[in-house]
């Protein structure tokens, strides 16, 4: 008889789907937390996050900013004695949060991720100026001026195109992406 997977099972399955080990191997040594350069900005350490997931605390985990604060430096994964790859867990939780629409209000990450995926789906490439209008005012007026100066320098040196380019056969690319991840609400 089929039984709905628990939160811990869902996350573990997602980890296995990415080719990494499940979280049930974690020995709670805190090596991931001590290696993390962004831990002071997180609501919970990576070690605590893994423990909460293994305990099935879905709602509590989804309220945390931990996975959105991850610097994607892979230091935790490099140091994990059990080869769990906590950095991959952070990506899994970001995707899960977006798919289930369970992220905290005011977090920039989900909106940025959606815009990024939409751009990739439309053109097959990333186009940074397309994200700017949504986030350019985050740093106030000084931040706006700095971003504009940086953008103009990049454009003058040919490092940032004025209009996005497209890859050939973008429809084939979209089909491949849709096989790898759910695109509900993103396309």
Number of domains the chain is built from: 2
Same domain, yes or no: 30 and 82:
yes
Q: How far is CA 173 from CA 116, 123, 178, in A?
A: 15, 9, 9
Contacts of 107 (CB under 8 A, 6+ apart): 65, 68
**Containing domain of residue 26, as a range?**
7-100
CA-to-CA distance for 26 and 96, rounded, in angstroms?
20
Same domain, yes or no: 112 and 93:
no
18-70: per-residue pLDDT in tens?
Answer: 888 889 889 999 999 999 999 999 999 999 999 999 999 999 999 998 998 88
Same domain, yes or no: 117 and 77:
no
CA-to-CA distance for 14 and 6, rounded, in angstroms?
12
Same domain, yes or no: 95 and 136:
no
Torsional sign, CA 183, 162, 135, 88: positive
100-116: per-residue pLDDT in tens?
Answer: 877 766 666 777 777 78
Least confident of 29-33, 73-77, 93-97, 154-158: 154-158
């Amino acid at each position: 008889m089929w039984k709905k997977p628990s939160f811990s099972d869902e996350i573990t399955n997602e980890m296995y789907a990415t080719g990494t080990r499940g979280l049930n191997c974690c020995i709670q040594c805190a090596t991931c937390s001590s290696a993390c350069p962004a831990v002071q900005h997180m609501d919970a350490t990576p070690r605590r996050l893994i423990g909460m997931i293994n305990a099935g605390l879905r709602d509590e985990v989804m309220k945390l900013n931990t996975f959105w604060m991850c610097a994607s430096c892979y230091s935790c994964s490099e140091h994990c004695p059990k080869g769990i790859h906590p950095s991959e867990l952070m990506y899994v939780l970001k995707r899960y949060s977006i798919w289930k629409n369970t992220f905290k209000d005011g977090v920039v990450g989900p909106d940025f991720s959606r815009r990024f995926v939409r751009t990739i789906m439309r053109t097959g490439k990333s186009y940074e100026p397309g994200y700017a209008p949504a986030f350019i005012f985050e740093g106030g007026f000084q931040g706006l001026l700095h971003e504009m100066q940086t953008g103009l320098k990049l454009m003058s040196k040919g490092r940032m195109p004025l209009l996005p380019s497209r890859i050939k056969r973008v429809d084939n690319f979209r089909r491949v992406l849709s096989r790898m991840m759910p695109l509900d609400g993103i396309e």
